[in-house]
């Protein structure tokens, strides 16, 4: 055990009988434990820690050489050794006036050139100048992608819909991800092939889910238009990929491909051409504002001492909860319906990045790593799983995310609804921490109406939700994930754990066609047989 780890273990023991309601008695707690940067305020005063613990966590960060690791990430060193590449999502949001030389190339030049190409696509579509096979202007764009090629753009489009410039009203953006065709089948009934454009978003251009949806979409175009498949794939499809050769082979016109780089991880790619649906929804200026917000967080992450560095603090709080407080469930609770997809986005970001049990040196991790993340719009979750947070047997850490201002200039009722959401956010954080002590009451309540409290939470407050603050928020979590990976000694940028399932599925698709290898376990054999019988029944 390292010196800081030993101290933290001793602090765990020291604080084991201290309840959050005791810690919150200090009148300076909020001032001591809330930090602001890049459009955001992070309040960690409802975490089960004191300033000594924070000091020890900071020591741990230094002990694990966090500062050189951050520099290595941002400089473009190989931080993803199993795939021998850097992870340079931060380069995608660097301003035009900056430089980042990696292996002799200035990456900012390529990034800016791609943004300019994106601008051309967006302008053409917004102006009604992208025409389908019959000459009608494209009105509907369907993004086909999955995981990082879907969740980020979907989340941002939903969050920033009200920032839609007038020109963007010309285009409706839709998302299709599920391999079973559920979303696509509904859309194909509603849409008109003459004015529909598909964006095939796939870093690898080899993901079966996406290729299956793409092939069905092209069948639909072909059947409905009676035209040649090759012509349709050239005119009605844009490819966004790091594998342009495969996209061209698939049939997409070279001039309709937005390329990005293998140093952009899938779940870190919304800042690249993968963000095309975002730019179509909020305009190119809105997209650039999103990038600026993320860049502000990058600068803060790179330059600020750890004592008040938001991603570092958010990560260290997680380390404290997971490794010292034995908490392995993490709820993401936005008190703003526009952030409905944020939990799903963060599930991939955190769990696909840090859901690892093998360290860089190939040895098993001696510590717990990423917890189980899930979440829901806070007010809705209050009527679903908060019962468990308040009275269950599981310790859960929560992140409350909320803007202070909303609906200015709108109906008084909506302004009041926002106050209601804020009041509920503050109330829930308070009750989770204090339990019964949140409300001074004279009479004793029966056991089933009592609240133990002591459930830790952080609050991330922003003045308003806008492209800049959302960019900062996403970058905050990206960097938090990296900091935790550095402390745990794991690689957050690969995802080998998802590969085996894909291979086995390939074999089983053959089995479903009656051609599989046949050497299956008894459960799989039994289900295959039953499914076959069900499919043959009339």
Provide CB contacts within 8 A for 186, sequence distance 6+: none
Please say whether the dihedral angle defined by the alpha carbons of residues 459, 464, 470 and 472, taken in this order, is positive or negative.
Answer: negative
Q: Which is nearer to ligand F6P, 206 or 518 (CB)?
A: 206
The nearer residue to ligand F6P, 147 or 334, going by C-beta atoms, is 147
Helix/strand/coil (H/E/C) assignment for every residue in 19-62: CHHHHCCCCCHHHHCEEEECCEEEECCCCCCCHHHHHHHHHHHH
User: Which listed residue (383, 503, 513, 517) is catalytic?
Assistant: 383
Nearest to ligand F6P of 133, 175 (CB atom): 175
Decide whether 267 or 288 has the Cβ nearer to ligand F6P: 267
Out of 44, 138, 146, 327, name the contact with ligand F6P by CB under 6 A: 146
Of 236, 267, 341, 406, which one interacts with ligand F6P (CB under 6 A)?
267
Beta strands in 38-133 (DSSP E): 40-43, 101-102, 105-106
Please give the helix or strand (H or E) that residue 111 lies within, else none: helix 107-126
Q: How far is the CB of 200 from ligand F6P (least distance, A)?
A: 9
Q: Which residues pair with 237 in a beta bridge?
A: 198
Q: Which of 76, 193, 266, 471 binds ligand F6P (CB under 6 A)?
A: 266
Note whether 277 binds ligand F6P by CB under 6 A: no
Minimum distance from residue 201 beta carbon to ligand F6P (Å): 7
Smallest CA-to-CA distance from 431 within 399, 448, 449, 455 is with 455
Q: Which is nearer to ligand F6P, 260 or 488 (CB)?
A: 260
Least spacing, CB of residue 245 vs ligand F6P, in Å: 14
Binding-site member from 39, 80, 149, 325 for ligand F6P (CB under 6 A): 149
Residue 73 interacting with ligand F6P (CB under 6 A):
no
Residues 6+ apart with CB under 8 A from 340: 158, 334, 377
63 with 6: CB under 8 angstroms? no
Please say whether the dihedral angle defined by the alpha carbons of residues 146, 151, 153 and 159, taken in this order, is positive or negative: positive
Binding status of residue 239 toward ligand F6P by CB under 6 A = no
Binding mask 190-219 for ligand F6P (x = CB under 6 A): ------------xxx--x--x---------
Is there binding between residue 418 and ligand F6P (CB under 6 A)?
A: no
Residue 300: count of CB within 10 angstroms of its CB: 22
Under rule CB under 6 A, residue 453 binds ligand F6P: no
Nearer residue to ligand F6P within complex by CB, 265 or 435: 265
Please answer whether residues 368 and 410 qualify as being in contact, where contact means their C-beta atoms are separated by less than 8 angstroms: no
502 catalytic per annotation: yes
**Is 341 one of the binding residues for ligand F6P (CB under 6 A)?**
no
Catalytic residue among 190, 502, 515, 529: 502
In angstroms, what is the minimal distance from the CB of 445 to ligand F6P?
A: 48
Give the nearest distance from C-beta 397 to ligand F6P in angstroms. 25
Which region, judged by CB under 6 A, interacts with ligand F6P, from 146-154, 360-368, 373-381, 504-512?
Answer: 146-154
Three-state DSSP at 458 gives strand
Among candidate residues 352, 418, 479, 480, the one labeled active-site is 352
Binding mask 465-504 for ligand F6P (x = CB under 6 A): ------------------------------x--x------
- Report the distance separating Cα 219 and Cα 225, nearest Å: 10
DSSP classification of residue 375: E
Quick one: which of 233, 297, 220, 269 has its CA closest to 469? 297
**Which is closer to ligand F6P, CB of 148 or CB of 379?**
148
Contacts with ligand F6P by CB under 6 A: the residue count is 14
Phi, psi of 334 (to 5 degrees): -75, 130
CA nearest neighbour of 344 among 356, 355, 352? 352
How far apart are alpha carbons 517 and 529 in whole angstroms?
Answer: 14
Closest to 64 in 3D by CA, of 117, 2, 20, 149: 2
Which residues of the chain form contacts with ligand F6P (CB under 6 A)? 146-149, 202-204, 207, 210, 266-267, 352, 495, 498
Q: Which positions are annotated as active-site residues? A: 352, 383, 502
């Amino acid at each position: 055990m390292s010196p800081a780890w030993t101290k933290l273990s001793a602090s765990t023991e020291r604080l084991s009988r201290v309840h959050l309601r005791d810690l919150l008695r200090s009148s300076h707690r909020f001032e001591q434990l809330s930090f602001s940067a890049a459009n955001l305020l992070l309040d960690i005063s409802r975490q089960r820690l004191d300033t000594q613990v924070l000091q020890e966590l900071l020591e741990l960060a230094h002990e694990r050489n966090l500062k050189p690791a951050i520099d290595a990430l941002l400089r473009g060193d190989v931080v993803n050794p199993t795939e021998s590449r850097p992870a340079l999502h931060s380069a995608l949001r660097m301003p035009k006036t900056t430089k980042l030389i990696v292996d002799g190339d200035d990456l900012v030049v390529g990034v800016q050139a791609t943004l300019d190409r994106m601008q051309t696509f967006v302008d053409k579509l917004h102006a009604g100048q992208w025409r389908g096979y019959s000459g009608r202007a494209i009105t509907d764009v369907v993004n086909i992608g999955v995981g990082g090629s879907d969740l980020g753009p979907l989340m941002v489009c939903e969050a920033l819909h009200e920032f839609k410039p007038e020109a963007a009203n010309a285009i409706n953006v839709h998302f299709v991800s599920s391999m079973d065709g559920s979303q696509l089948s509904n859309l194909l009934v509603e849409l008109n092939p003459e004015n529909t454009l598909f964006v095939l978003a796939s870093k690898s251009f080899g993901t079966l889910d996406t290729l299956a949806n793409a092939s069905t979409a092209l069948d639909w175009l072909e059947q409905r238009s009676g035209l040649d498949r090759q012509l349709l794939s050239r005119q009605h499809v844009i490819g966004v990929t790091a594998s342009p050769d495969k996209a061209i082979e698939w049939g997409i016109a070279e001039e309709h491909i937005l390329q990005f780089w293998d140093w952009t991880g899938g779940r870190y790619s919304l800042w690249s051409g993968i963000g095309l649906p975002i730019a179509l929804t909020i305009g190119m200026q809105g997209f650039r504002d999103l990038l600026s917000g993320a860049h502000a967080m990058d600068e803060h992450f790179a330059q600020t001492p750890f004592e008040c560095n938001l991603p570092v603090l958010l990560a260290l709080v997680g380390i404290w909860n997971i490794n010292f407080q034995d908490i392995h469930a993490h709820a993401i609770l936005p008190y703003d319906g526009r952030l409905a997809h944020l939990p799903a986005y963060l599930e991939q970001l955190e769990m696909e990045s840090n859901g690892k049990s093998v360290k860089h040196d190939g040895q098993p991790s001696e510590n717990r790593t990423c917890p189980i993340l899930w979440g829901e719009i806070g007010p809705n979750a209050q009527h679903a799983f908060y019962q468990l947070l308040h009275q269950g047997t599981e310790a859960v850490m929560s992140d409350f995310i909320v803007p202070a201002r909303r609906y200015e200039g709108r109906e008084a009722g909506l302004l009041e609804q926002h106050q209601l959401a804020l009041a509920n956010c503050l109330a829930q954080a308070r009750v989770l921490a204090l339990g019964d002590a949140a409300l001074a009451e004279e009479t004793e309540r029966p056991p089933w109406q009592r609240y133990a409290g002591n459930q830790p939470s952080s609050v991330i407050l922003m003045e308003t939700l806008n492209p800049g603050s959302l960019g900062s928020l996403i970058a905050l979590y990206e960097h938090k994930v990296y900091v935790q990976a550095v402390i745990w000694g794991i690689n957050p940028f690969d995802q080998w754990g998802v590969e085996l399932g894909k291979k086995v599925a390939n074999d089983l698709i053959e089995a479903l066609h009656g051609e599989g290898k046949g050497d299956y376990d008894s459960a799989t054999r039994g289900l295959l047989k039953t499914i076959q019988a069900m499919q043959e029944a009339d």
